Amino acid sequence: MAKIFNEKNFIVVNKNNKNDLFRTDDPNVNQLTFSFENISTEDVIFKVGEKTSTIQFNMAFLKKDNDDPVKDFIISLPEGWKCGLQINPKGKYAEWKLTPKGDVAVAPGQKLSFVIKNIICKRFDPGYFSIKTTDIPDYENVEPSMIKGITIKDPDKTKDRLPLVAGFTDPIHPVNNQTGFPCNNTKSGRIQEITPNREAIPIYINYDPFAKIKNGFKLILTAEDDIVIPEVTDETRKPTIRVMFMFGSYPYEVTTQSKGNDIEINANQTKWMVRHNDDNPFWELIPEPQTINQYTTFSFNVRGIVTPEQALQGVSLMYVQVNNFGAYADDVYRFQIEKKSVVKPGMISLQRDTETINIGENLKLCWDSSLARMVEITYETRERERVVLSTAPGPGEHKIELTQCEFEVLPVPPTALVTTFKATAYGPNGSKSSLSVAASVKQRIAEIVSFTATPNVIKKGVATKVTFAWNVRDASQLKLFKGDVELDISKREIEIDGPGEYKLVARSYGDELPNVSKTIKIYAYDNLTTIPFNFPGDSPGDRPRTLLYNLFLPNDEGKTFKYLMAHCGRDEMYAIHAEKKGRVGTYSTKRDCFALEPIEQKLLPLYSTRPGHQTGVYYIVGALIVPMPFRLPDSEDIATPMRFSPDGSKLFITYNSTSSTRENEINVNTGVISGPQRATYFESDGKLPLPKLKPGLMNELITDGPTLIGFDASNSSVFYISYNDKRIHCANYKTEGQISFTNVDLKYDKTILMTEPKPLSAKHKMYLASEGQNFITVFLTDKKCLDEKLIDVGGQPFDMVLSNDEKTLYVACIKENKVVVVNTEDGSSKAVYASINTPSCLTLSADEDLLFVGSHRTRTLTVINLKLGTVGTPVSTGAATGNPMVTTIIETKECYNVYVTKECYSERTRWGATDVITPNTQLNMSVVSIYKPV
């Protein structure tokens, strides 16, 4: 393998035995001795022949324009050597070629010297003495050039020595975007004292093209005496400090010319200018005229020294040449630059801004690394998911910098009870350095945000796959139970054939925190029972109505049956036996022409319209109508509606009066009679169940058209609410047999829904819904006025039900497919159950845990668990057997029997011309048994 010459083989010195030139026009002042020294243990042979050994040198930096003093050099040659001048074709500068006349052997330790005279130097810019060799046996050619730094001084020996002391401090080695500055002054190994220039400046060899080490340091100059920098007009004589580096390809050269052009030098004080030309290896530091006082230290930051990749270790030189500093002689300071390979990267610091946080909070980290191609910070969440922060992030990892001096918020908040952060700095050849720091995270009690089962209403006796789902926060462990039996938590789908109660238990993190649980109920429905009604065709009718009453049979004293009276909205009412779930009687009457005594619920009068019978108010006993009706003042008048007072003592009736001057009109589409409306009541005159009634006060004209009757139960105030004139008529029954009214204007369209205060209520609030409006009006029954605040529910209210404590109002909005839960105290929405298709009727269970919702268009029944906030899976009430309009619950120990009364008018839910509505083909009452979870 061929040998290689190094910087010690070649020596270039002036008469002062230094590699200086003196700025002078006198050709006798400078005399350079250029020597080759054999530092090996064998002879170095310079041969003559086909390939003659040569040594070439140039000092191209001396050339300025066409003036090239190198061509005029006079060279004194050793015996047996000759020289020749040639012009470099690229740079067009003079270059000398030294060759032997015959073979020349240079023994180990011997020198071969060439003396160069007639040197004229007219500038202060330093530069290189460039050396090349070719065809020396056993040695590689020195190509490209090996360089020796040449500095320039003024030859005036009468001036005093320049009172400056040179040194350096703060060597830094940032990588990529690192600033190179330590994160704080407390970190060891980053802040150093001023080092004199006799010690080497450390820089590190770049080992990764993607992680460049940008070495730097601070050049320090200290005045030992006052130094006056005068104002000079001659540009060539301006006071200047020139900093020169060795750029090339040999081990002792700090970096290449192209990389060297990226070096930055900045002054740390004002009144200094720094300039550099990319063609030169030096930077000029030029002060303005000033006086540098004794003991003043001024400095320059040198940054961005990047070596070639995989450069060799070695010592280079940096020259600091000071010229024209007033009355002082020029001087040159030589600094050694030691190129070191990176043995190991350093993770210098890792800090967190706090030791303890609460779960859900975040903390911040800062860190400092040295000589690292990559930094990685890792920690685990309490779910043992690994979080990675990296300077070279992979998929799912987070980007960071090699050094973060300011505290930085973590991208993923720590959650583990004790979270340990590990920072690792990676260097060459798998080397690394790590630091760790821990923080405590105070945990919260576990929370089960949601726990659902789909479907949560199944058919009894039919194995059904039910999918359980949950959303849990702050839980370290989950368990699922049915009763005391623990189920496999990994099996989200379980086959179930009956009702049941399932409990999810969440374990909190930290032994000191309690566990939490949430229960879900699976209901099961029985086979659908249907009770047929007469089918009126697909046409509109009044809203159906049902009443549940306890029937007392005289021939079986003490025996009570529950009967459900149902009216389909036309001219017939049906008696349904609640236990047998069958129809036992049919009666001719109108929708509102019957009422239930509210105390014992055993008396049910109705206004019979049966053809061939005398019209009037009858009693229903069993499947029979008790004869001897109570007649209205005009035997042709029709009673609609009828309502008992809250105490059951009076039966209030409104009726269409044929005795009025205005004739009655019948709507051909609905069959509803409109016209003058009068009011009266019958008063009880005996004991239930078969009291005698006597006519009460009557008989004032109150309104025009159908009417609702409502009460304020606390004082038995009676309110007549007109469909047609949009008013509330507050009745005042006088002792002399007359009725007077206080009228309240409702302002809105006709009232279609009314919910009045509960018996013995202190709330005095009646809730009214108007046709086509998206709000609920509140009527204050004690003050007989409207509340100014409307309850906005949206989507056309179609049914509503009030809780027993009157704090909650449930509203079915048929047009917007939702059920709204209203806080009656402030009128706000407590909850909204959306995506319930066209809800048309609502019923609460006795314990008010469940809300049963009938859906008009889909003909289904949905159970909402108000306690758990879950919506059940809809249950069909018959695909073509009428649309749900009223639901009534008869509850047993095992189940809820839900009676669904229907209408047969598909257009009720047609909101647009493109809606497709399937008309009914028959009509019935559906009975759905919803079995309770065990």
Per-residue pLDDT tens for 155-171?
A: 998 899 999 999 999 99
Q: Given the structure tokens 């080759």, which residue do they identify? A: 36
Do residues 34 and 119 touch, judged by C-beta distance below 8 A? Answer: no
376: nearest Cα among 437, 433, 415, 419: 433
Quote the longest CA-to-CA distance of the chain. Answer: 160
Q: How far apart are CA 600 and CA 551, in angstroms?
A: 10
Q: How far apart are CA 565 and CA 925, in angstroms?
A: 11
Higher pLDDT, 524 or 608: 524
User: Which pLDDT value is given to residue 345?
Assistant: 93
Q: Is the pLDDT of residue 17 over 70?
A: yes
- Kindly report which listed range (181-185, 708-712, 769-773) carries the lowest average pLDDT score: 181-185
Do residues 377 and 365 touch, judged by C-beta distance below 8 A? Answer: yes
Do residues 439 and 354 touch, judged by C-beta distance below 8 A? Answer: yes
Helix or strand (DSSP H, E) at 260: helix 257-260
Q: Is 822 helix (H, G, I), strand (E, B) or coil?
A: strand
Do residues 158 and 209 touch, judged by C-beta distance below 8 A? Answer: no
Q: How far apart are CA 365 and CA 346, in angstroms?
A: 17
- CA dist 103 to 45, 107, 444, Å? 7, 13, 91
- DSSP annotation of 262 reads T
Percent of the chain at pLDDT exceeding 70: 90
Q: What one-character-per-residue DSSP string does 542-601 give?
A: PPPEEEEEEEEPGGGTT-EEEEEEEE-SSSEEEEEETTTTEEEEEEE--TTSB---TTTS
E strand intervals along 346-499: 346-352, 356-358, 364-370, 374-380, 386-390, 398-399, 404-409, 418-426, 432-442, 447-454, 457-459, 464-473, 475-482, 485-487, 493-496
With the C-alpha atoms ordered 723, 720, 805, 843, is the resulting torsion angle positive or negative? negative
Q: Is 908 helix (H, G, I), strand (E, B) or coil?
A: helix
Query: What is the distance of C-alpha 220 from the center of its chain?
Result: 51
User: Which pLDDT value is given to residue 653?
Assistant: 85
Q: Extract the tokens encoding 262.
A: 């990226």
Torsion of CA 287, 291, 293, 297, to 10 degrees: -10
Tell whether omega for the bond before 144 is within 30 degrees of 0, i.e. cis. Answer: yes
How close are the terminal C-alpha atoms of the chain, in Å? 93
In which band, very low, low, confident or very high, does the pLDDT at 626 lie, cut at 50, 70 and 90? low
- Kindly report which listed range (86-90, 167-171, 173-177, 653-657) carries the lowest average pLDDT score: 653-657
Q: Is 780 helix (H, G, I), strand (E, B) or coil?
A: strand
In which band, very low, low, confident or very high, does the pLDDT at 89 lie, cut at 50, 70 and 90? confident
- Kindly report which listed range (10-24, 180-194, 227-241, 402-416) carries the lowest average pLDDT score: 180-194
User: Which pLDDT value is given to residue 636?
Assistant: 54
Q: Is the pLDDT of residue 299 over 60?
A: yes
Q: How far apart are CA 351 and CA 365, in angstroms?
A: 6
Q: 876, exposed or middle or buried, with CB in 10 Å at 0-12, 13-18, 19+?
A: middle
Q: Is the pLDDT of residue 223 over 90?
A: yes
At 839, the amino acid letter reads P
> Which residues lie below 8 Å from residue 302, measured CB to CB, with a gap of 6+?
216, 217, 218, 219, 243, 263, 264, 265
Q: Is the pLDDT of residue 412 over 80?
A: yes
Q: Beta-carbon neighbour count of residue 129 at 10 Å?
A: 23
Mean pLDDT along residues 297-325? 93
Q: Is the pLDDT of residue 260 over 50?
A: yes
At 652, the amino acid letter reads F
Q: Beta-carbon neighbour count of residue 507 at 10 Å?
A: 17
Tell whether omega for the bond before 605 is within 30 degrees of 0, i.e. cis. Answer: no
Degrees, nearest 5: CA angle 420-423-429: 140
Do residues 254 and 305 touch, judged by C-beta distance below 8 A? Answer: yes
Degrees, nearest 5: CA angle 551-552-557: 150
Q: Extract the tokens encoding 330.
A: 């020029």
643: nearest Cα among 754, 805, 750: 754
- Residue 146 phi/psi, 5° resolution? -90, 140
Degrees, nearest 5: CA angle 152-154-158: 150
At 83, the amino acid letter reads C
Q: How far apart are CA 350 and CA 382, in angstroms?
A: 21
Percent of the chain at pLDDT exceeding 90: 56
Do residues 453 and 933 touch, judged by C-beta distance below 8 A? Answer: no
Mean pLDDT along residues 814-821? 94
Do residues 427 and 846 touch, judged by C-beta distance below 8 A? Answer: no
What does DSSP say about strands 356-358 and 432-442: parallel, antiparallel, or unpaired? parallel
Higher pLDDT, 189 or 474: 474
Mean pLDDT along residues 558-579? 81
217: nearest Cα among 242, 248, 191, 254: 191
E strand intervals along 788-894: 791-792, 797-802, 808-813, 818-823, 828-834, 839-844, 850-855, 860-865, 870-871, 875-876, 883-891
| Averaged pLDDT score across all residues of the chain | 87
Degrees, nearest 5: CA angle 15-17-18: 110
What does DSSP say about strands 331-340 and 201-204: parallel, antiparallel, or unpaired? parallel
Q: Is the pLDDT of residue 668 over 60?
A: no
Q: Is the pLDDT of residue 785 over 50?
A: yes
Q: Is the pLDDT of residue 399 over 90?
A: yes
- Residue 744 phi/psi, 5° resolution? -120, 120
Q: Is the pLDDT of residue 621 over 70?
A: no
Q: How far apart are CA 68 and CA 598, in angstroms?
A: 126
pTM of the model: 0.56
Do residues 70 and 60 touch, judged by C-beta distance below 8 A? Answer: yes
Do residues 326 and 239 touch, judged by C-beta distance below 8 A? Answer: yes
- Residue 749 phi/psi, 5° resolution? -70, 175
Q: Extract the tokens encoding 430.
A: 């798998």
Of 346-355, 525-534, 754-763, highest mean pLDDT: 346-355
- CA dist 606 to 266, 541, 921, Å? 106, 19, 30
Mean pLDDT along residues 262-271? 92
Do residues 337 and 201 touch, judged by C-beta distance below 8 A? Answer: yes
Q: How far apart are CA 191 and CA 221, in angstroms?
A: 18
Do residues 782 and 766 touch, judged by C-beta distance below 8 A? Answer: no
Q: Is 22 helix (H, G, I), strand (E, B) or coil?
A: strand
At 292, the amino acid letter reads I
